[in-house]
Amino acid sequence: MSSHYKPIIYIISAPSGSGKSTLVNELVKLVPDLDFSISYTTRSPRGSEQNGKQYHFVLREEFDQMIAAGEFLEHAEFDRNCYGTAARFLREAEQKSHDLLLDIDVQGARQVKDKLPEAVSIFVLPPDRKTLEWRLRKRSENPEEAIQRRLAAASREIENYNKYDYILINDKLEESIESLEAIVLSQRLLRSRRSLSSEEKEIVERADLHRLENIRQRLEPILASFGAPPPSARP
Ligand code: ADP
Ligand code: 5GP
Protein backbone atom coordinates (compact mmCIF):
# COMPACT_ATOMS: atom_id res chain seq x y z
CA MET A 1 0.00 0.00 0.00
CA SER A 2 2.98 2.28 0.39
CA SER A 3 3.16 5.10 -2.14
CA HIS A 4 6.36 6.01 -3.93
CA TYR A 5 6.31 9.65 -3.00
CA LYS A 6 9.58 10.80 -1.46
CA PRO A 7 8.73 13.64 0.89
CA ILE A 8 10.86 16.75 0.84
CA ILE A 9 12.11 17.29 4.37
CA TYR A 10 12.52 20.90 5.39
CA ILE A 11 14.63 21.49 8.48
CA ILE A 12 14.24 24.84 10.14
CA SER A 13 16.56 25.88 12.96
CA ALA A 14 17.04 29.14 14.79
CA PRO A 15 18.21 30.52 18.09
CA SER A 16 15.27 30.37 20.50
CA GLY A 17 13.25 33.60 20.26
CA SER A 18 14.13 34.38 16.61
CA GLY A 19 10.51 33.94 15.60
CA LYS A 20 10.71 30.48 14.13
CA SER A 21 7.44 29.18 15.63
CA THR A 22 5.63 32.29 14.40
CA LEU A 23 7.00 31.77 10.88
CA VAL A 24 6.27 28.05 10.85
CA ASN A 25 2.66 28.59 11.98
CA GLU A 26 2.07 30.96 9.09
CA LEU A 27 3.91 28.78 6.60
CA VAL A 28 1.79 25.68 7.19
CA LYS A 29 -1.33 27.78 6.60
CA LEU A 30 0.00 28.98 3.23
CA VAL A 31 1.56 25.84 1.77
CA PRO A 32 -0.65 22.84 0.99
CA ASP A 33 0.45 19.27 1.72
CA LEU A 34 3.13 20.32 4.16
CA ASP A 35 2.96 18.54 7.52
CA PHE A 36 4.53 19.89 10.68
CA SER A 37 6.38 17.29 12.71
CA ILE A 38 5.18 17.63 16.30
CA SER A 39 8.24 16.89 18.39
CA TYR A 40 8.36 15.09 21.70
CA THR A 41 9.83 17.07 24.56
CA THR A 42 10.38 16.72 28.29
CA ARG A 43 10.02 20.47 28.89
CA SER A 44 6.82 21.91 30.40
CA PRO A 45 4.24 23.66 28.21
CA ARG A 46 4.79 27.42 27.84
CA GLY A 47 1.95 29.95 27.72
CA SER A 48 -0.94 28.71 25.60
CA GLU A 49 0.86 25.62 24.29
CA GLN A 50 -1.28 22.49 24.13
CA ASN A 51 -0.22 18.87 24.30
CA GLY A 52 -0.28 17.36 20.83
CA LYS A 53 -0.33 20.72 19.07
CA GLN A 54 3.05 22.44 19.38
CA TYR A 55 4.67 19.44 21.09
CA HIS A 56 3.92 16.09 22.64
CA PHE A 57 4.85 16.80 26.25
CA VAL A 58 6.18 13.66 27.92
CA LEU A 59 8.02 12.62 31.05
CA ARG A 60 11.70 11.79 30.91
CA GLU A 61 10.91 8.07 31.43
CA GLU A 62 8.61 8.01 28.39
CA PHE A 63 11.23 9.84 26.34
CA ASP A 64 13.92 7.34 27.35
CA GLN A 65 11.61 4.44 26.44
CA MET A 66 11.12 5.93 22.98
CA ILE A 67 14.89 6.21 22.52
CA ALA A 68 15.32 2.59 23.60
CA ALA A 69 12.60 1.48 21.17
CA GLY A 70 14.36 3.30 18.30
CA GLU A 71 11.35 5.52 17.67
CA PHE A 72 13.28 8.74 16.98
CA LEU A 73 14.67 9.93 13.66
CA GLU A 74 16.80 12.25 15.79
CA HIS A 75 16.85 13.51 19.34
CA ALA A 76 18.93 15.95 21.35
CA GLU A 77 19.21 17.72 24.66
CA PHE A 78 18.61 21.46 24.63
CA ASP A 79 18.53 23.81 27.62
CA ARG A 80 18.25 20.95 30.14
CA ASN A 81 15.40 19.20 28.32
CA CYS A 82 15.12 16.47 25.71
CA TYR A 83 13.58 16.96 22.29
CA GLY A 84 13.03 14.39 19.56
CA THR A 85 11.44 13.81 16.16
CA ALA A 86 9.45 10.57 15.87
CA ALA A 87 10.41 8.63 12.73
CA ARG A 88 6.75 7.76 12.18
CA PHE A 89 6.03 11.30 10.97
CA LEU A 90 8.21 10.67 7.96
CA ARG A 91 6.40 7.41 7.17
CA GLU A 92 3.03 9.15 7.52
CA ALA A 93 4.09 11.99 5.20
CA GLU A 94 5.22 9.41 2.64
CA GLN A 95 1.88 7.62 2.77
CA LYS A 96 0.00 10.90 2.33
CA SER A 97 2.39 12.19 -0.38
CA HIS A 98 3.05 15.22 1.78
CA ASP A 99 6.26 17.05 2.59
CA LEU A 100 7.47 17.38 6.16
CA LEU A 101 8.69 20.35 8.17
CA LEU A 102 11.01 19.79 11.13
CA ASP A 103 11.52 22.57 13.65
CA ILE A 104 14.66 21.28 15.35
CA ASP A 105 17.91 22.58 16.82
CA VAL A 106 21.36 22.49 15.21
CA GLN A 107 22.26 19.12 16.79
CA GLY A 108 19.08 17.55 15.40
CA ALA A 109 19.63 19.18 12.01
CA ARG A 110 23.07 17.60 11.80
CA GLN A 111 21.65 14.14 12.60
CA VAL A 112 18.91 14.44 9.98
CA LYS A 113 21.33 15.72 7.28
CA ASP A 114 23.61 12.75 8.01
CA LYS A 115 20.74 10.29 7.54
CA LEU A 116 18.90 12.15 4.78
CA PRO A 117 21.32 14.38 2.86
CA GLU A 118 18.64 15.67 0.45
CA ALA A 119 16.83 17.39 3.32
CA VAL A 120 16.60 21.16 2.80
CA SER A 121 17.86 23.19 5.73
CA ILE A 122 16.94 26.74 6.66
CA PHE A 123 18.52 28.81 9.42
CA VAL A 124 16.52 31.71 10.82
CA LEU A 125 18.41 34.61 12.37
CA PRO A 126 17.17 37.60 14.31
CA PRO A 127 18.24 41.03 12.96
CA ASP A 128 20.66 41.39 15.91
CA ARG A 129 21.26 40.31 19.51
CA LYS A 130 19.26 43.17 21.07
CA THR A 131 16.19 42.27 19.04
CA LEU A 132 16.54 38.64 20.04
CA GLU A 133 16.74 39.61 23.71
CA TRP A 134 13.66 41.78 23.31
CA ARG A 135 11.71 39.00 21.60
CA LEU A 136 12.67 36.53 24.33
CA ARG A 137 11.45 38.99 26.98
CA LYS A 138 8.24 39.67 25.08
CA ARG A 139 7.50 35.98 25.36
CA SER A 140 7.15 36.66 29.06
CA GLU A 141 6.71 33.05 30.22
CA ASN A 142 10.50 32.82 30.28
CA PRO A 143 12.13 33.44 33.64
CA GLU A 144 15.15 35.77 33.49
CA GLU A 145 17.55 32.91 34.10
CA ALA A 146 16.18 31.04 31.08
CA ILE A 147 16.48 34.18 28.93
CA GLN A 148 20.15 34.51 29.85
CA ARG A 149 20.77 30.81 29.15
CA ARG A 150 19.06 31.06 25.77
CA LEU A 151 21.00 34.20 24.80
CA ALA A 152 24.23 32.41 25.61
CA ALA A 153 23.06 29.38 23.59
CA ALA A 154 22.16 31.69 20.68
CA SER A 155 25.73 32.99 20.43
CA ARG A 156 26.99 29.41 20.08
CA GLU A 157 24.24 28.22 17.73
CA ILE A 158 24.63 31.14 15.38
CA GLU A 159 28.10 29.97 14.41
CA ASN A 160 26.44 27.02 12.66
CA TYR A 161 24.69 29.19 10.08
CA ASN A 162 27.10 28.06 7.33
CA LYS A 163 25.94 24.43 7.56
CA TYR A 164 22.50 25.39 6.24
CA ASP A 165 21.25 25.69 2.66
CA TYR A 166 19.25 28.88 3.21
CA ILE A 167 19.47 31.77 5.68
CA LEU A 168 16.46 33.84 6.61
CA ILE A 169 16.92 37.04 8.58
CA ASN A 170 13.61 37.51 10.39
CA ASP A 171 13.29 41.28 10.45
CA LYS A 172 9.91 42.26 8.96
CA LEU A 173 7.52 39.40 9.62
CA GLU A 174 5.48 39.65 6.40
CA GLU A 175 8.61 39.64 4.25
CA SER A 176 10.06 36.71 6.15
CA ILE A 177 6.90 34.66 5.68
CA GLU A 178 6.92 35.37 1.94
CA SER A 179 10.58 34.40 1.67
CA LEU A 180 10.08 31.20 3.63
CA GLU A 181 7.16 30.27 1.41
CA ALA A 182 9.34 30.95 -1.65
CA ILE A 183 12.09 28.68 -0.30
CA VAL A 184 9.65 25.82 0.26
CA LEU A 185 7.89 26.23 -3.08
CA SER A 186 11.13 26.66 -5.02
CA GLN A 187 12.37 23.29 -3.80
CA ARG A 188 9.17 21.66 -5.01
CA LEU A 189 9.57 23.39 -8.37
CA LEU A 190 13.22 22.42 -8.72
CA ARG A 191 12.45 18.79 -7.89
CA SER A 192 9.60 18.66 -10.39
CA ARG A 193 12.29 18.81 -13.12
CA ARG A 194 9.95 20.48 -15.59
CA SER A 195 10.44 23.79 -17.32
CA LEU A 196 9.18 26.66 -15.20
CA SER A 197 6.85 29.52 -16.05
CA SER A 198 8.16 33.05 -15.54
CA GLU A 199 6.15 33.30 -12.30
CA GLU A 200 7.69 30.09 -11.05
CA LYS A 201 11.15 31.31 -11.99
CA GLU A 202 10.53 34.39 -9.86
CA ILE A 203 9.79 32.17 -6.88
CA VAL A 204 13.08 30.33 -7.35
CA GLU A 205 14.92 33.66 -7.72
CA ARG A 206 13.38 34.99 -4.53
CA ALA A 207 14.41 31.84 -2.66
CA ASP A 208 17.94 32.03 -4.09
CA LEU A 209 18.41 35.45 -2.48
CA HIS A 210 18.54 33.52 0.80
CA ARG A 211 21.25 31.09 -0.22
CA LEU A 212 24.33 31.44 1.92
CA GLU A 213 26.53 32.75 -0.90
CA ASN A 214 24.06 35.54 -1.64
CA ILE A 215 23.53 36.70 1.90
CA ARG A 216 27.02 36.81 3.35
CA GLN A 217 27.28 40.61 3.44
CA ARG A 218 24.06 41.01 5.41
CA LEU A 219 25.32 38.50 7.96
CA GLU A 220 28.35 40.49 9.03
CA PRO A 221 26.65 42.96 11.41
CA ILE A 222 24.40 40.23 12.85
CA LEU A 223 27.31 37.96 13.66
CA ALA A 224 29.23 40.91 15.10
CA SER A 225 26.33 41.75 17.45
CA PHE A 226 26.67 38.22 18.90
CA GLY A 227 30.46 38.44 19.06
CA ALA A 228 30.72 35.64 16.48
CA PRO A 229 33.52 35.58 13.88
CA PRO A 230 32.71 37.31 10.56
CA PRO A 231 31.64 35.16 7.59
CA SER A 232 34.66 33.93 5.66
CA ALA A 233 34.90 34.14 1.89
CA ARG A 234 34.32 30.40 1.65
CA PRO A 235 31.93 28.21 3.72
P1 ADP B 1 10.95 30.95 18.46
O2 ADP B 1 9.96 29.95 18.01
O3 ADP B 1 12.04 31.17 17.46
O4 ADP B 1 11.52 30.66 19.82
P5 ADP B 1 8.67 32.82 18.59
O6 ADP B 1 7.99 32.52 17.29
O7 ADP B 1 8.02 32.35 19.84
O8 ADP B 1 10.21 32.37 18.56
O9 ADP B 1 8.87 34.42 18.63
C10 ADP B 1 9.41 35.09 19.76
C11 ADP B 1 8.66 36.43 19.92
O12 ADP B 1 9.02 37.31 18.85
C13 ADP B 1 7.15 36.28 19.89
O14 ADP B 1 6.60 37.17 20.82
C15 ADP B 1 6.79 36.68 18.44
O16 ADP B 1 5.50 37.22 18.36
C17 ADP B 1 7.84 37.73 18.14
N18 ADP B 1 8.21 37.83 16.70
C19 ADP B 1 8.42 36.82 15.83
N20 ADP B 1 8.80 37.30 14.62
C21 ADP B 1 8.82 38.63 14.71
C22 ADP B 1 9.13 39.70 13.79
N23 ADP B 1 9.50 39.50 12.53
N24 ADP B 1 9.03 40.97 14.25
C25 ADP B 1 8.67 41.22 15.55
N26 ADP B 1 8.37 40.27 16.46
C27 ADP B 1 8.45 38.99 16.06
P1 5GP C 1 11.61 25.60 22.61
O2 5GP C 1 11.78 25.02 23.98
O3 5GP C 1 11.95 27.08 22.58
O4 5GP C 1 10.28 25.28 22.00
O5 5GP C 1 12.68 24.88 21.67
C6 5GP C 1 14.02 24.88 22.01
C7 5GP C 1 14.83 24.32 20.85
O8 5GP C 1 14.53 22.94 20.65
C9 5GP C 1 14.55 25.01 19.50
O10 5GP C 1 15.81 25.25 18.88
C11 5GP C 1 13.77 23.97 18.74
O12 5GP C 1 13.96 24.07 17.36
C13 5GP C 1 14.39 22.70 19.27
N14 5GP C 1 13.57 21.52 19.04
C15 5GP C 1 12.22 21.41 19.05
N16 5GP C 1 11.85 20.16 18.76
C17 5GP C 1 12.98 19.47 18.52
C18 5GP C 1 13.26 18.12 18.15
O19 5GP C 1 12.38 17.29 17.95
N20 5GP C 1 14.56 17.77 18.02
C21 5GP C 1 15.58 18.65 18.23
N22 5GP C 1 16.83 18.20 18.04
N23 5GP C 1 15.36 19.92 18.56
C24 5GP C 1 14.08 20.32 18.72
DSSP result, 212-229: HHHHHHHHHHHHHHTTPP
Cα→Cα distances 116→32, 141, 208, 216, Å: 23, 35, 22, 26
pTM, two decimals, is 0.95
> DSSP states of 90-109 as a string?
HHHHHHHT-EEEEE--HHHH
N- to C-terminal Cα separation, the chain: 43
Q: Ligand 2, atom 22: nearest CA belongs to which residue? A: 108
Q: Which atom of ligand 1 is nearest to the CA of 20?
A: 3
Q: Give domain limits for the chain.
A: 9-36+98-228
State which residues of the chain have pLDDT below 70.
1-3, 140-142, 232-235
Residue 140: predicted pLDDT: 65
**Fold annotation for 9-36+98-228:** Rossmann fold (3.40.50)
CA-based radius of gyration for the chain = 18
Residue 79: predicted pLDDT: 84
To test the pocket of ligand 1, the residue of 135, 168, 169, 174 to mutate (highest count of ligand atoms within 8 Å of its CB) is 135
Residue 142: predicted pLDDT: 67
Q: What angle do CA 76, 227, 174 make, to 5 degrees?
A: 70
